[in-house]
Amino acid sequence: MKTKRCNQLKKKITIKKTDALIIVDAQNDFLSGGSLPVPKGEEIILFLNYYLDLFKKAQGKVFATRDWHPINHLSFKEQGGIWSSHCICGTKGAEFTPKLKLPKNAIIISKATDSSKESYSGFDGTELCKKLKKSKVIKVFVAGLAIDYCVKNTVIDAINLGFKTFFLKDASQGIDLNPGDIKQSIEMMRNKGAKQVKKQYFF
């Protein structure tokens, strides 16, 4: 006998003014030609723009996180970290891809700005939670790059902070540095209570 997962949706979703879209790190360095490209990262931009249009029409809130690293960030290989230098504040690589149709009123959240601290989550060391609560947001929809790092950690923090949290799988892509990382990350998010959805779930 099959058991129903508590985070499987049966009804269509209607975006409300108290909902927020959180786009995670859709930056040039994480796309083709960047210093730390996520495989097939470009494929999610079309979906991100679909959700941006959806939220615009519904007058929902839009937040966009970005890595905004100092040049000597500890995550860089030059400093003993595991990543190539990427998203250094003020550089072209740290800019959002021009293909992303961010609205003018999108709230930008800079993260990982401390050279001595790794910060994958959009909530870690930022005012994202404060700004969401100030906007009276109840539900958050999280998408972007990369599933197995910044998306996962942002989703889990959102849940722990009390937000009803949705993971937009079709608008997210992962790295899979270790084979199976993406699958395990998605399972972790779902087990924590995130609802995994895609565009077919929306009106």
Q: What does the alpha-carbon distance between residue 155 and residue 167 come to, in Å, rounded to a whole number?
A: 7
Please give the order of strands across the beta sheet that includes 61-67. 107-111, 61-67, 19-24, 139-145, 164-173, 195-197
Question: Which SS3 state, helix, strand or coil, does residue 118 take?
Answer: coil
Which residues are marked as active site? 25, 111, 150
Report in angstroms the alpha-carbon separations of 119 from 32, 54, 59, 69, 134.
Answer: 23, 29, 30, 10, 23
Asked if 139 and 9 count as a contact pair (C-beta separation under 8 A), the reply is no
Give the position of tokens 């959240």.
109
β-strand pairing of 107-111 with 164-173? unpaired
